[in-house]
A = this chain, B = another copy of it.
Amino acid sequence: MKAVLSVVLVLVVISSTIAKYIPKSGKRIPQTLSRGWGDQLIWAQTYEEALYWSRSRNKPLMVLFHLEDCPHSQALKKVFSENNEIQKSLDEDFIVLNLVYETTDKHLSPDGQYVPRILFVDPSMTVRADINGRYSNRMYAYETGDINLLISNIQKAKKLLKAEL
């Protein structure tokens, strides 16, 4: 009897050691770097990292500001992530970064901090303030209906400022 109890005790100890940690509030689904904006794209984590990749690979950078609890962001995310033309172009020709928290770099908010907001940065590290959407009070905002304008802006950003070095 004692031996059986010992064995059970040992097994309990072992299994509790092996069992992976689960929060009291229940198991969580790990957050992805894509945050739903394109699971097949390779997203940079930080602006510094994205700038480094952009310069070293000579590819333009797209920076996307959004918020998980903003309905405009969520609506754009659905259209954006399901648009194969956008996804293919970004995957093949761009460095991509999405942020839910503003950076300290003022160049990324030429007309204020709002979401959703999309800015392009040339590999020469110039923020392309000339590539904008259709709203004069929020120049870098896009609505779901602006997806074709966004596609044409992606094409514009692809043409580097200094094509020949």
A91 to B27, CA, bound (A): 12
> Is A148 in contact with chain B by the CB < 8 A criterion?
no
> Is A145 in contact with chain B by the CB < 8 A criterion?
no
A38 to B99, CA, bound (A): 21
A82 adjacent to B20 (CB under 8 Å): yes
Q: Please provide the chain A residues from 51 to 105 with a CB less than 8 Å away from any CB of chain B in the complex.
A: 52, 82, 84, 87-88, 91, 99-104
A52 / chain B contacts, CB cutoff of 8 Å: 101
> Is A39 in contact with chain B by the CB < 8 A criterion?
yes
Contact-size category for A: 35 or more
* Nearest B residue to A46, CB-CB: B46
With beta carbons under 8 angstroms apart, the residue of B21, B40, B104 that contacts A21 is B40
> Is A31 in contact with chain B by the CB < 8 A criterion?
yes
> Is A49 in contact with chain B by the CB < 8 A criterion?
yes
A84 / chain B contacts, CB cutoff of 8 Å: 17, 19-21
- How far is the CB of A106 from the nearest CB of chain B, in Å? 13
> Is A12 in contact with chain B by the CB < 8 A criterion?
no
B103 adjacent to A48 (CB under 8 Å): yes
A42 to B28, CA, bound (A): 9
> Is A13 in contact with chain B by the CB < 8 A criterion?
no
Ranked 3 nearest A-B pairs via Cβ = A49-B101, A21-B87, A30-B32
Can you list 7 residue pairs at the A/B interface with Cβ under 8 Å? A20-B84, A21-B40, A22-B40, A27-B40, A31-B33, A31-B34, A45-B46
